[in-house]
Structure 1
Amino acid sequence: MIVIDIHEIHRFEINHRSRELKFMEHARRNPFSGAVTVFHERWLPEKATPAGYAALIDAYALAAPLPRTLSAIGPRHKVYAADGWRLYTPRHEPEASLIGHLTFALRYEGLDLAVLKRLFKATGPEPIQAIVEAAPTGSYARRIWFLYEWLLGAELDLPDATRGNYAPVVDAKLQWDAEGAPSPRHRVRNNLPGTPDFCPMIFRTPAIEAFIARDLAAEARAVLAEVPADLLARTAAFLLLKDSRSSFQIEGENPPQDRIRRWGQIIGEAGRHPIDRAELERLQRIVIGDARFVHLGLRQEGGFIGEHDRTTGAPLPDHVSARHEDLPALIAGLEAFDRDVAPGLDPVLAAAGLAFGFVYIHPFEDGNGRLHRYLIHHVLAARGFNPPGLVFPVSAVILERIEAYRQVLESYSRRLLPHVSWRPTDRGNVEVLNDTGDFYRFFDATPHAEFLFACVAQTIDSDLPAETRFLRVYDGFKSRVSGLIDMPDRTLDLLFRFLHQNDGRLSERARAREFGALTEEETGRIEAIYAQLQKDL
């Protein structure tokens, strides 16, 4: 016999009606937009109706960086992308409601965790509970439920799910995911590539797919397989020194040679120690050296990257760093990512997420840039990506691609800056006035991963072969010229460098000064030796 509790039914109807009224009230205050030509200062390719995250950001007035690509429903019957928009056909148009646009976002746009967290704070728990109660076995409803509790660290007033196949939280067709673990309460698989304290997301793109398909680590080992051990050791030493020098040059510094060598030694040890606050602070002390005018350890005030007004001294930021109050939690998030998540990701993807996340946080007063590039070395070495005993000269490649590097950094900073409220301090610094921690926990690291893959590929395709070839030519040159003329190694080195810098010819100045003792015949034979070696190798 089934007993029907009339009072329980009545309470359910009242609660359900209350939720409907709240939805209607919100719709009156913040209706979803119709067709527009400009959205938040972004021109659309043609007049269209914002959908997914764009619609939610607009309707709920969410203060969060806009996704790199926004979606809208256009008039055409084909899907196309242009000018930072992806326009869908009228048949893709979602229901003009919270669940309609949330489902559209998860289906077509992947996860933007910063936007979702701001959205859940704006809606409060009741609308999300209503979504789950309306479709308790639906995969989108259960993913939304999980994301609400995971992001906010608060449980909804819902019983554990008992039905429905386990659905992945991250759609692996859209974004790179981690191995994941089941969440029985929601009957989903948590394959997010991070934790609530730090979780960068990376979209699948043709460029990244192609790099991963190449298996760059195997290619690097193949390139070096035929290199004799002594030559490989010298190649590794040269590249290490080159990377250390380049890392300082990126920061506009030209330190003494012994300081470059010391930092090179540290880079050579990358991957041996886990990343945590103590390790990062140890590395900062090494990077800074003379700390008389620099505060060591986590910042105790704001921070920014940019210039100062020449007249007033007021800050002119291009990027505002994380609030100093948020730094301990953010560093703990980086630590957990490196320890628990990165081992299950492709090494280059993990390195991009960790290193660029660190540089956006900018936890120290000085030394952040070099530590950011050290973290790339750390992940690649710790995951066994590098050939044994070799460090990829990532900083050297970055120096060659410095404009592309700046553009990658700005790909997020430009979208972040309008959502950071700050005021100048008496010391020419900035004080952040709003809660920005989530903007550093959750960011789209896709451009950063593509850039880092391109740098690693250049190392394998060009730098490693070029350096081993250089040393082979150098060794052959010294051997053959020594058989022709007796001169000290230091003079041989200078002779080779002059020829290398002048396309195999000894300049008139060098002939007249440093090598004035050579006859014309000897000079001709030396140039011929150099040319023949270049041709043979």
Structure 2
Amino acid sequence: MREWISRPVTEFRALPLPEPGILAGYAALIERFDLAVPLADRLTAIAERHHPHSSDQWRMLTPRHAPVFELAAQLTFALRYEGLNLAVLARLFHTVQPAEIAAIVEASPTGAYARRIWFLYEWLTDTRLELPDAGKVRAVDVVDPVFQLALPKGEPSPRHRVINNLPGTPEFCPMVRRTEVLDAYRARQFDVRARETVGRVRPDLLARAAAFLLLNDSKSSFAIEGERPSGTRATRWGQAIAQAGTRPLSLAEFDRLQRIVIGDDHFVRLGLREEGGFVGIHDRDTQMPIPDHVSARAEDLQSLLQGVIAYTERAIRGGMDPVAAAACLAFGFVYIHPYVDGNGRLHRWLFHHALALANFNPPGLIFPVSVAIYRRIAEYRAVLESYSAPLLPCISWEPTGDGNLRVLNDTADFYRFFDATRHAEFLYACVEQVIEQDMPEEIQFLEGFERFSERIQQIVEMPAAQVELLRRFLAQNDGRLSGRARTREFAALDDEEVAAAEQAYAFSFLD
């Protein structure tokens, strides 16, 4: 075991500090106890001067904030200034002796941070310390809502005199930090704005818009994976998306959805993986795996997915921010990667499930999140890699004879506990695009098409399919009917009727 680093450093695990500083909080604990964990998006250090410069990756505090070099002080500092990093705490609590945690509580039995540390130790390790229950003292939240999103109302733990407002369970509990970006998104109340938008639309037009958005989301979800599904397959998956939020999650439900996604199981094994898994490529000469992401071990899948299911019930039904909860749920699932194939589409289906379960979207209408993701595909991949890339060095693996890999160390906590802040910000950006752009544009288009169709029928009667063809030709040529269309598909129209049709298009779509 290493000693505390009491001198200023300029770099920590290849992450440069903006100026020399002494590691504090989680960074100090990771270094002192040599914890193999992915580094958080932002760490903390103590600067040498009283007006330090911070960065996106480092929060530099003044010397007066410096904790002493002992376990209790560094743990307290971490909770006070950095919030909960459950992955670090889980590894730390399995490294130190139970007596060391008990000593922290005994030294400050009524202290708010000592009681939180005590609760988190027993919650994460499922080990009861030999300590009497806390006495009469004011209960404190386990999650400080100033730093991280949590349940608005948790359940009391009389033993520790804390309120358990954690959004998940020890089997699965990603956390989301409060940021200015997230606070701004949440203040805009997109669910209310969506209801106001659809409330101004006739039910028949809304039903047509909902059908289009649903099918478009299904096609986009396949397109993200580089697939062009048949119309039947896209429609079938669209129907599964439409059911999101109506059926409780279970392992059997996940398996049912995978069968719908895959369709044909001739070349893909259905059901949970029974071997390792990764996302990446193979070396062309040696066929050695070159992973961009290593999936959870097969032996951990049952526990992890049960945690995902429990998180759905606890976080969403408990009033956690719906978009943040959806991000935790869906991105957590895709990092676990429990199936040989179909994980990406199931991951995006979980966005719909979480939002529908929270009644975030208007009844009967799904938000085409996959459409927004497809438009932001580079940003989407960057968000996925924001955790999978720093996770890779923490996983020890060896290749197998069939071109797969076998994980050699215990990695389950890496998929249970991660920081989903960037994921939540990304999903909020997609929701904003859907509500502010996609939905209004589709409704506006349908209203315009209805006006256009009515005017065309006043000029000359034609089948609905022919009206749509006419609209497409006009749209492709800035509202003018091309000479080719006038001599072929619409040769029956005279010059006056063509001019009237162009005016009808301008009135319906351009004006």
CA distance in 1, matches of 2:51, 2:370: 43
Which of 192, 203, 209 does residue 183 from structure 2 map onto? Answer: 209
CA distance in 2, matches of 1:168, 1:341: 16
- What displacement does 1:359 show? 0.7
Whether 2:93 is the aligned partner of 1:120: answer yes
Whether 2:161 is the aligned partner of 1:173: answer no
Q: 2:5, 2:22 within 8 Å by CA — same for their partners in 1?
A: no
Q: 1:64, 1:419 within 8 Å by CA — same for their partners in 2?
A: yes
1:199–1:166 distance in 2 versus 1, CA, 3 Å: same
Superposition misfits of 4+ residues, deviation over 6 angstroms: none
The normalised TM-score by structure 2 is: 0.97
Question: What's 2:281 paired with?
Answer: 307
Q: Which moved more, 1:502-511 or 1:491-500?
A: 502-511
- What displacement does 1:33 show? 4.5
1:505–1:81 distance in 2 versus 1, CA, 3 Å: farther
Question: What's 1:437 paired with?
Answer: 412
1:350–1:268 distance in 2 versus 1, CA, 3 Å: same
Q: Which moved more, 1:91-100 or 1:58-67?
A: 91-100
CA distance in 2, matches of 1:334, 1:428: 29
- What displacement does 1:118 show? 0.7
Question: What's 1:271 paired with?
Answer: 245
- What displacement does 1:83 show? 4.2
**For residues 91-130 of structure 1, what are the structure 2 equivalents within 5 Å?**
91-130=64-103
Which of 316, 319, 322 does residue 342 from structure 1 map onto? Answer: 316
Question: What's 2:364 paired with?
Answer: 389
- Please give the secondary structure, in 2, of the residue aligned with 1:301: coil
- What displacement does 1:478 show? 1.5
**For residues 63-142 of structure 1, what are the structure 2 equivalents within 5 Å?**
63-78=36-51, 80-142=53-115
CA distance in 2, matches of 1:504, 1:164: 73
Which of 145, 159, 170 does residue 196 from structure 1 map onto? Answer: 170
- What displacement does 1:326 show? 0.2
1:468–1:104 distance in 2 versus 1, CA, 3 Å: same
Question: What's 1:58 paired with?
Answer: 31
Q: Which moved more, 1:307-316 or 1:241-250?
A: 307-316
Whether 2:403 is the aligned partner of 1:428: answer yes
Q: 1:139, 1:164 within 8 Å by CA — same for their partners in 2?
A: no
Q: 1:45, 1:83 within 8 Å by CA — same for their partners in 2?
A: no
- Please give the secondary structure, in 1, of the residue aligned with 2:279: strand
- What displacement does 1:160 show? 1.5
**For residues 482-497 of structure 1, what are the structure 2 equivalents within 5 Å?**
482-497=457-472
1:60–1:507 distance in 2 versus 1, CA, 3 Å: farther
**Unmatched segments (≥5 aa) in structure 1:** 1-25
Q: 2:18, 2:53 within 8 Å by CA — same for their partners in 1?
A: no
Q: 1:62, 1:115 within 8 Å by CA — same for their partners in 2?
A: yes
Q: 1:167, 1:187 within 8 Å by CA — same for their partners in 2?
A: yes
Return the letter of the residue paired with 2:475.
H
- Please give the secondary structure, in 2, of the residue aligned with 1:242: helix
Return the letter of the residue paired with 1:81.
S
Question: What's 1:352 paired with?
Answer: 327
- Please give the secondary structure, in 1, of the residue aligned with 2:347: helix
Question: What's 1:233 paired with?
Answer: 207
Return the letter of the residue paired with 2:69.
A
Question: What's 2:22 paired with?
Answer: 49
Which of 465, 468, 480 does residue 505 from structure 1 map onto? Answer: 480
Q: Which moved more, 1:203-212 or 1:393-402?
A: 203-212
- Please give the secondary structure, in 2, of the residue aligned with 1:412: helix
CA distance in 2, matches of 1:36, 1:507: 70
Question: What's 1:19 paired with?
Answer: none
Q: Cα RMSD over matched residues?
A: 1.5
Whether 2:350 is the aligned partner of 1:375: answer yes
Give the paired residue count.
Answer: 509
Question: What's 2:269 paired with?
Answer: 295
- What displacement does 1:75 show? 2.7
- What displacement does 1:311 show? 1.5
- Please give the secondary structure, in 2, of the residue aligned with 1:292: coil
Q: 1:355, 1:376 within 8 Å by CA — same for their partners in 2?
A: yes
Query: What do the CA deviations read for 1:126-170 (whole angstroms, capped 9, x no partner)?
Result: 211111111111111111111111101101121222143211111
Return the letter of the residue paired with 1:99.
A
CA distance in 2, matches of 1:86, 1:501: 53
- What displacement does 1:492 show? 1.6
- Please give the secondary structure, in 1, of the residue aligned with 2:54: strand
Whether 2:437 is the aligned partner of 1:462: answer yes
CA distance in 2, matches of 1:425, 1:346: 42
CA distance in 2, matches of 1:522, 1:490: 18
1:247–1:502 distance in 2 versus 1, CA, 3 Å: farther
- Please give the secondary structure, in 1, of the residue aligned with 2:326: helix
Q: 1:299, 1:364 within 8 Å by CA — same for their partners in 2?
A: yes
CA distance in 1, matches of 2:432, 2:331: 19
1:501–1:92 distance in 2 versus 1, CA, 3 Å: farther
Which of 392, 395, 405 does residue 380 from structure 2 map onto? Answer: 405
Question: What's 1:525 paired with?
Answer: 500
Return the letter of the residue paired with 1:412.
Y
Query: What do the CA deviations read for 1:5-34 (whole angstroms, capped 9, x no partner)?
Result: xxxxxxxxxxxxxxxxxxxxx6xx423252
- What displacement does 1:254 show? 0.4
CA distance in 2, matches of 1:112, 1:505: 60
**For residues 28-39 of structure 1, what are the structure 2 equivalents within 5 Å?**
29-39=2-12
**For residues 243-254 of structure 1, what are the structure 2 equivalents within 5 Å?**
243-254=217-228
